[in-house]
Structure 1
Amino acid sequence: MDNLSIITVFTLSGFNETMNRRVVFFFLSLLCYCMILLINISLVVTIILDKSLHEPMYILMCTFCMNGLYGTTGFYPKFLFDLLSPVHVISYSGCLVQAQVLFSYACSDLSILAVMAYDRYVAICRPLQYVSIMTKQRLVQLVCFSWITPFCVFSINVLLTSRLKLCSSKINRLYCVNWMVVKLACSPAETTVNSLVSYITIIIYVFHGFFIIWSYMYLIKTCVKSVESRRKFIQTCVPHLTSLGTFAVTVLFDLMHMRYGSKDTHQALQNFAAIQFLVISPFMNPLIYGFMLTKIRTRILGFVHINMKGKR
């Protein structure tokens, strides 16, 4: 048993069904990753370079896109390499790092959405106090909260996982998942603390979700009373709600599949369930904000127009 618990490499068995069409999957995945990089970086650069967009709402959008770049970078390079490799393995330390990146990315998305909901609540429900509440210092604190808190929470989860003795090295996914590594533990008794911390983590982010729901219930209640508030809600909150809906559907789909999905489910469907939150949200969010928010759309179209005129 002691020999079995000394594991330095994990095998990612989720690739077994993709090998017959791996070249096709490679080019589709590469195209998807390049598009994610292009549209997210374009939005980030636009907001950074245009001083008129240096407002809390746009800075939070910039943070949102940067987090999308962080999460997808933790997945796509390794995934693309594995698609062309005959052996699909990842080192023990690499597995824990990937689990840390991917799950801190997902929870950072929820934290940023909660901060954006707070920003819209203050802007619409307390407009006269907006400037005094959403100061630069407050904005920096909220951005740090949305990044550092998930990173620290999942660092604790990963550190607790690293102490476990494992009796298997097979992970039935395309990437490393912390709870799957925990399931490989030799003794279920050793995972009690891991389970407790996992439940605490879930509770923390469920409260994030409740806060967002409460904010928008109050926003809708306020907007019904005023035409100006309704106009501001449609202009600035609809993109945020669209992003929130995309996030909720993709993450809940993956969580429900992990919790209730059958082991007999076709591997291709399991793979889709596993990666769709790394494809849909990072791709859709910058498009949603880029096209639905007038200021950003105008800046991007203006930049494209200037470039086209310059080439003529």
Structure 2
Amino acid sequence: MIISNCLLIYIICVERVLHKPMYLFICNLACINLYGASAFAPFVLTKIMTRDYQIKWLPCLVQIFSIYTYGGCDITNLTVMAYDRYISICYPLQYEKIVTPRKVVVGIAVSWLLPFARNTITIAMTAQLNICGEIIEKVYCDNFSFVKLACSDTLSFNIYGGVMMLQLCLTVMLVVIIFYTYVRIILICLQLSKGGRVKFSTCVPHLVALLNFVIGGCFEMFQSLFNMQHVPHTVRVVISLYVLILSPIINPIIYGVKTQKIKEVTLKKFTSST
């Protein structure tokens, strides 16, 4: 997980031929994957090694913040990547004028700052809830499990529920924008016959990464919102870990294998060094 993402970041950073918007966004996605892994893996490994399965209130909130900002950064960056591919394929002659270096920097900055701002508000409200329960039925802290332990007054829950609904609506809106963008891209590519298929191939890794994130996010949401007691505990644990472990592992492999330029540069880098 760490090695594959670090390798992808290294290749894109040191090779000037990859200093283009699409590859910079891929590099940013790898950084986000590392951040997501750091929000989960060290904490859990420490607990397993020390056999101390208790967690205090503050560390739990910190982990919730880290995991949720990771998810927000991931989906926001995937939205920016979808926009980049849309402009590249649908408006190729205007691409360099539209996707300027300044816009690339802004896109990367927004993919980090927006989720951090959103989740700072969420965690600030979560911290105000009175907690009565003691057991979280997961191997890590998440917002839904934490809130289930709360016993605050009705007004606090109503306000909190409204904020969380806005957060969910924003995430759904980003996913809808991404899928709408790729539908437009597919329609354009179908009109371009063979050349269109070649252009669409640059979108395949992005689509796989998107589907991987959406599937993992849906698993996590269903488990949080619905009663899953009839599902074996081991299955529930695996489902809850999907988006935190498999996405950071699979994404760099997808981009390394499916992105032709990255694959060529990587092979050239290692063959020349040997």
- Structure 1 runs (4+) greater than 4 angstroms displaced: none
Offset of 1:188 from its aligned partner?
4.8
1:95 equivalent in structure 2 = 60
Q: Return the offset for 1:106.
A: 1.1
Match of 2:108 in 1: 143
| 2:77 maps to 1:112 | yes
Query: Gaps spanning 5+ residues in structure 2: where?
Result: none
Contact 2:72/2:115 (<8 A) preserved: yes
Other-structure match for 1:184: 149
Match for residue 47 of structure 2 among 60, 82, 91: 82
Give me the whole-angstrom Cα distance separating, in 1, the residues matched to 2:229 and 2:238: 14
One-letter amino acid of the counterpart of residue 255, structure 2: Y
Q: How far apart, CA to CA, are the structure 1 residues paired with 2:222 and 2:184?
A: 29
Deviates further, 180-189 or 113-122? 180-189
Q: Deviations over 1:52-102 (max 9, x none)?
A: 100000000000000000011010001111112232122211111110111
Query: In the alignment, which residue of structure 2 is the partner of 1:237?
Result: 203
Identical-residue share of aligned pairs (%): 32
Q: Which moved more, 1:139-148 or 1:63-72?
A: 139-148
In structure 1, distance between residues paired with 2:218 and 2:39: 20
- Give the drift of 1:253: 1.5
SS at match of 2:55: strand
Q: What is the aligned counterpart of 2:133 among 164, 168, 173?
A: 168
Q: Is the 8 A contact 2:205 2:255 kept in 1?
A: yes
Shifted more, 57-66 versus 213-222: the winner is 213-222
Aligned residues: 272
Q: Which residue of 1 aligns with 2:174?
A: 208
Report Cα offsets for 1:13-72 as digits up to 9, x if no partner. Answer: xxxxxxxxxxxxxxxxxxxxxxx0000000001000111100000000000000000011
2:33 is matched with which residue: 68, 80, 84? 68
Give the whole-Å Cα distance in 2 for the aligned partners of 1:58 and 1:242: 16
Q: Distance in 1 between matches of 2:227 and 2:263?
A: 40
Residue 257 of structure 1, aligned match among 214, 223, 242? 223
1:52 equivalent in alignment to 2:27: no
Q: Per-residue deviation at 1:230?
A: 2.5
Q: 1:85 to 1:267 in 2, by over 3 A?
A: farther
The one-letter amino acid of 1:231's match is V
- The answer (yes or no) to whether the contact 2:68–2:119 under 8 Å persists in 1 is yes
TM-score normalised according to structure 2 size: 0.96
Cα displacement (A) at 1:265: 3.0
Task: Please say if residues 65 and 123 of structure 2, whose CA atoms lie closer than 8 Å, have aligned partners that are also in contact.
Answer: yes
- Distance in 2 (CA, whole Å) between partners of 1:230 and 1:127 is 15
Structure 1 residues without counterparts, runs of 5 or longer? 1-35
Q: Tell me the amino acid that sits aligned with residue 265 of structure 2.
A: R
CA distance in 1, matches of 2:187, 2:231: 44
1:133 paired to 2:98:
yes
Which residue matches 1:302? 268
2:241 aligned with 1:272, yes or no?
A: no
The answer to whether the 8 Å contact 1:182/1:191 transfers is no
Which letter does structure 2 place at the counterpart of 1:214?
A: Y
Q: Find the residue that maps to 2:133 and give its secondary structure.
A: coil
* Alignment RMSD: 1.2
Contact 1:185 1:191 in 2 (8 A): no
Deviation, 1:252, is 0.9
